[in-house]
Chain A
Amino acid sequence: MKTKILSIITLFLMTLSMSAQIDRTIQPKPGPAPKINIGKPETFELKNGLKVLVVENHILPRVSATLTINNNLIFEGDKAGVSGLTGSLLGTGTNKINKDSFDEEVDYLGANINFSSQSASMRSLSKYFPRVLELMADAALHPVFTQEEFDKESTKLIESLKIGEKSVSNIANRVENALAYGKNHPYGEFTSPKSVKNVNLNDVKNFYSTYFKPNNAYLVIVGDVNLKEVKKLVKKGFAKWQKGTLPTYTIPDVNNVAKTEIDFVDMPHAVQSNVAMVNSTNLKMSSPDYFAVKLANYILGGGGEARLFLNLREDKGYTYGAYSSISSDEKTSALFSASAQVRNMVTDSSAVEFVKEIKKIRDTKVTDEELKNAKAAYVGSFVRNVEKPATIARYALNIRRNNLPENFYETYLQNINAVTVADIQRVAQKYLSADHARIIVVGKALDVLPNLEKLPYKINYFDKEANKTSKPDLSKPIPAGVTKQTVLNNYFNAIGGVDKIKSIKSTLVTYEASAMGNTIQSTEKRTADKYANETSMGGNVMAKVIMTKDGVTMNKQPLPAAMAKDMISGLGTFLEMGLLQNENSKLTGIEPIDGKDTYVITTKGDVVSTSIYFDVKTSLKVRESQTVSMGGRTQNQAANFSDYKEFNGIMFAGVKTAKVGPQTVTFKLLNAKVNEGVTDVDFQ
């Protein structure tokens, strides 16, 4: 009665306050924090050690039951896959019921029963629960493993391994674990067709009889049941399950690399790279650092408002999502990983950003607001989930599996709220590594390696099974029928037509750029056998190069004969005319420039070597690069060409960009002339 009056009063008050106008320019403040109840499951234990947790919830007429065996880790070695096969053979028949009848009855009841090598689970309507639990217990505890079913599951397993074999994320996941833990570690090993072929029916029987024991087992039952009934059913199904002695196994130590490195796996068809920065660490749920570590990870990469996401997705648009995660593990090392799938072109930039963000959270304190928001997110998530029956069960199981204090979840919010910004920095330094991490990149070598090589990290190469391998070949095969002649003719056709180009007597082009506060002009004049280039800055001529078959002069001084010999191969109304005739000029391969494939025509000389790049799709020249080696010194120069424009029926590159020292200078085409403005005087 009393509560009723109270609620009427509350209602009245609320009605009053609500009649006020809202102000939508102001973000609404939260009401008083809701009260939460942390439920506790009922528990009991069978004599064989099976611990049973029951959460009664009668809102929906359904029940779930999960049997989990919490053994030590198991290393499967050259028989990797034996656990998986054991799981898939459970549920394929017992002494009491054959496989077909079992499948039929489970489906008939509208229920689900699933098994893995050390677990079993079921869901059903509560009215069928007794029978479904009985079916699950029988299948889990009294399996009959037959050769026929073994052969079937083994074939399917081998085939299904192929499904993920070309998936970048699947390979990345496998290689990350294999490298971070080592392939001699239960978390680092993986199942391969070869290892599955080493497994026979007896291995499965042995695996089952060794590990499927109640010693470390938990049975969690959630839903529309009552405890008394459950006790009866569980005893009936599980009391005869025999305890056993489990083999001992020492888990190998897990170490980080001495110095941060890139580990690269080539996936030639990938359109996105998986980039992951990974280190192992030692984090247990029972550690006093646990809450600070979780919050630190949240601030760095826990979701759509975390730093990685805001930086790599919202600011740069490199990826659909960038996140980080850190596991906790009672039995062995945990793993920290920050990762994203990014488009090929920004693979190296993404790696740089991961390193930057990890350094930042280690080197500087997070803001009070970031920490406050992270705490709110954790608190909110806790509140949203804590009253779900499945959560109650999971929390209770966590306490037992991870040796946590009984009040772990009662003090959870208090512990979250106690974390300071200093704690965040301290744990970031302790658990997240910048100098001993692996940057694991799985992607298309041809597109991403050239830029990754520019980063200050050693690159190690691995195959898809995490075996060391050599650097992949970056050149693409030249398609049949493509030759130097076809590439050059296509280029001539693209800029105006082969016949037209060949009939031209002279060309004159002037480019202009502004750099270092000055205007730079460069004028190039060409005939079939003569070349002149004049570069001026602010109107003053800085350099004049003249080239004929007899030699090359710069500001009237002759250049060394060896150098001149190489240079005059570029004579012609167009540079490419020279390439056509020079036997030293060869089509050497296909290379990507800014994500686009180009044909490369290289002219190797004693002093000067040049490479000219033609876009495979448009046939246009996109880059010239030149290497000059003299007296033990080597100098590289390159210019990119784009924005082709028409002058007198011929296309010339409207923009030419070149690196001058540290600066990129953009030259714009001022003028281009064909068959005019060039006289013999120009070459004197």
Chain B
Amino acid sequence: MRKTFFLSFLTLLLSLGTFAQKVSFEEYNLSNGLHVILHQDNTAPVVTTSVMYHVGSKNEVVGRTGFAHFFEHLLFEGTKNIKRGDWFKIVSANGGTNNANTTQDRTYYYEVFPSNNLKLGLWMESERMMHPIINQIGVDTQNEVVKEEKRLRVDNSPYGQWTSQVFKNLFKKHPYHWVTIGSMADLDAATLEEFRAFNKKFYLPNNAVLVVSGDFELASTKKLVKAYFEPIPAGPKVVQSNIKEEPITKEIKTTYYDSNIQIPAVFTVYRTPAMTTRDARILDMISDILSGGKSSRLYKKLVDKDKKALQIAAFNYSLEDYGAYIVLALPLGKTSLDELVNDMNKEIVKLQSNLISERELQKLRNKFENKFVNSNASVEGIANSLARFHLLYGDANLINTEINIYNSVTREEIRDVAKKYLNPNQRLVLDYLPKKDKE
């Protein structure tokens, strides 16, 4: 009784509309094509300067994979005015922190400083864009470091090969078929000239977005941005390739053996549309229905009730050109992988044949509202979101409006999207098994 009352009270609250929480920002282009986004928030004396380049492993070619990630390392080696080895020192000696990361689609570099070092952050990012030093000693050192990174994260790590196995099998023509870290043999074979050419081609102001987020003064910052970044010459427009895959019409089965594990895992993976599409977002919501929280359908059934799985997860590995929709499970006890695949599919079939309840839809909206509030919790996070939404989605304001898309999704759409993409004949099944020791 008490509960019913509580729930109706909630519904009342919700109908009043979700809290409007706007991230304000200003955006413009410099004459060299560099897109600039400024988000001012003076509540704490901290400022983030970041640059996202529209280059990732998908801009590489067969035989020379791993370049974009390699540049994530290489572009810390020094510039015309920053000596090799000084980068990290300058950042921390000025109270900052910095890092970079690479995906299939883009590379992101950033610094976070106390706000009195805004100028330093802009100088460093402009140096990196204008005239990085790319020489043999840097290439040789980072080559070893990247190999260690791969050993650490992939070769020596439990389940470390699943991404490479999934993408290798899900894509045939599209460069998504290799992983971001790339091939060590390719990196060994690459010449200094090839690295320099890659830099010239992609790390251009007209292929990047600069974000300043946090505690700064607007007018003076614009002047600084102009002074540091406008002299950087633009390059030829980067054309993003548009490679289409044939649809998958017959289930692909594959097996991988990993010597770092004892418990097998099974991955069922479906090729899905680009992250910018409405369907990709609907798939995000389907993930929550299947595996978001302890009341989610797959968790409740396979982990909690039937005790067939140790872990389950469903998520949309969303990328700029395509996505990989992944449903995975680790078996508990004697459950076979085939049985898990069957049970996972049963839950998908339910989604395809019956509408979710109104209450489930409301639950989804509550969850996405919560995610939305938390995603804009730090100036660093906001900088990253603004850059991503501008560069990959073409609309920085999605930081404020994407929630509306999620909120507008209907139960029918959820059913239809499940029907459209999540069928057995469209999937890859990867049995990921422990490799027996040789003894």
Residues of A within 8 A of B366 (CB): 108-110, 125
- Report the minimum CB–CB distance from A38 to chain B (whole Å): 12
| Cross-chain contact A33 with B114 (CB below 8 angstroms) | yes
| Cross-chain contact A103 with B294 (CB below 8 angstroms) | yes
| Cross-chain contact A30 with B262 (CB below 8 angstroms) | no
Residues of B within 8 A of A159 (CB): 263, 310, 332-333
| Chain B proximity mask over A28-48: 1 for CB below 8 Å, otherwise 0 | 101111111000000000000
CB closest residue in chain A, given B292: A107
Q: Does A607 contact B (CB under 8 A)?
A: no
Report the bound CA distance from A18 to B224 in whole Å: 7
- Report the minimum CB–CB distance from B198 to chain A (whole Å): 21
Q: Does A457 contact B (CB under 8 A)?
A: no
| Cross-chain contact A383 with B223 (CB below 8 angstroms) | no
| Cross-chain contact A62 with B114 (CB below 8 angstroms) | no
Residues of B within 8 A of A319 (CB): 145, 148
| Chain B proximity mask over A257-277: 1 for CB below 8 Å, otherwise 0 | 000000000001111100000
Residues of B within 8 A of A61 (CB): 19, 21, 373
- The answer to whether residues A15 and B141 also contact, given A103-B294, A272-B151 and a CB cut-off of 8 A, is no
Report the bound CA distance from A304 to B148 in whole Å: 15
Q: Which of B44-91 contact A (CB under 8 A)?
A: 44-46, 81-82, 85, 88-91
| Cross-chain contact A380 with B437 (CB below 8 angstroms) | no
Residues of A within 8 A of B438 (CB): 477
- Report the minimum CB–CB distance from B208 to chain A (whole Å): 18
- Report the minimum CB–CB distance from A388 to chain B (whole Å): 7
Question: What 10 pairs between A and B have smallest CB-CB spacing?
Answer: A380-B95, A317-B144, A34-B45, A110-B366, A110-B370, A107-B293, A31-B116, A305-B88, A387-B44, A373-B93
CB closest residue in chain A, given B82: A27
Residues of B within 8 A of A125 (CB): 19, 366, 369-370, 373
CB closest residue in chain A, given B123: A28
The answer, among A167, A271, A303, for a CB contact under 8 Å with B158, is A167
| Cross-chain contact B217 with A14 (CB below 8 angstroms) | yes
The DSSP consensus for interface residues of chain A is mixed
| Chain A proximity mask over B350-393: 1 for CB below 8 Å, otherwise 0 | 00000000010011001111110110111000000000000000
Most buried by B among A11, A62, A314: A314
| Cross-chain contact B310 with A36 (CB below 8 angstroms) | no
- The answer to whether residues A22 and B227 also contact, given A109-B366, A376-B92 and a CB cut-off of 8 A, is yes
Q: Does A25 contact B (CB under 8 A)?
A: yes
- Report the minimum CB–CB distance from B97 to chain A (whole Å): 7
Q: Does B260 contact A (CB under 8 A)?
A: yes
The DSSP consensus for interface residues of chain B is helix
Report the bound CA distance from A309 to B85 in whole Å: 11
Q: Does B259 contact A (CB under 8 A)?
A: yes
Q: Does A671 contact B (CB under 8 A)?
A: no
Interface residue tally on B, bucketed by range: 35 or more
| Cross-chain contact A383 with B114 (CB below 8 angstroms) | yes
Q: Does B156 contact A (CB under 8 A)?
A: yes
Q: What are 24 of the A-B contact pairs (CB < 8 Å)? A: A15-B219, A15-B223, A18-B220, A22-B228, A28-B117, A31-B116, A33-B114, A61-B19, A61-B21, A103-B295, A107-B293, A107-B296, A110-B366, A123-B374, A127-B13, A127-B19, A152-B307, A156-B303, A156-B332, A160-B310, A269-B437, A319-B145, A376-B95, A380-B97
Report the bound CA distance from A588 to B378 in whole Å: 63
Report the bound CA distance from A125 to B21 in whole Å: 13
| Cross-chain contact A317 with B143 (CB below 8 angstroms) | yes
Q: Does A513 contact B (CB under 8 A)?
A: no
Residues of B within 8 A of A131 (CB): 6
Report the bound CA distance from A271 to B261 in whole Å: 14
| Cross-chain contact B376 with A28 (CB below 8 angstroms) | no
- The answer to whether residues A28 and B262 also contact, given A163-B158, A270-B156, A387-B45 and a CB cut-off of 8 A, is no
Q: Does B113 contact A (CB under 8 A)?
A: yes
Q: Which of B112-131 contact A (CB under 8 A)?
A: 112-120, 123, 126-127, 130
The answer, among B224, B259, B262, for a CB contact under 8 Å with A162, is B262
CB closest residue in chain A, given B435: A269
Residues of B within 8 A of A380 (CB): 92, 94-97, 113-114
Q: Does A662 contact B (CB under 8 A)?
A: no
Report the bound CA distance from A268 to B43 in whole Å: 53
Q: Does A481 contact B (CB under 8 A)?
A: no
- The answer to whether residues A383 and B332 also contact, given A107-B294, A159-B310, A167-B158 and a CB cut-off of 8 A, is no
| Cross-chain contact A107 with B19 (CB below 8 angstroms) | no
- The answer to whether residues A110 and B263 also contact, given A15-B220, A28-B123, A304-B88 and a CB cut-off of 8 A, is no
Q: Does A168 contact B (CB under 8 A)?
A: yes
| Cross-chain contact B92 with A303 (CB below 8 angstroms) | yes
Most buried by A among B143, B157, B228: B157
Q: Does A343 contact B (CB under 8 A)?
A: yes
- Report the minimum CB–CB distance from B13 to chain A (whole Å): 6
| Cross-chain contact A166 with B88 (CB below 8 angstroms) | no
Residues of A within 8 A of B112 (CB): 384
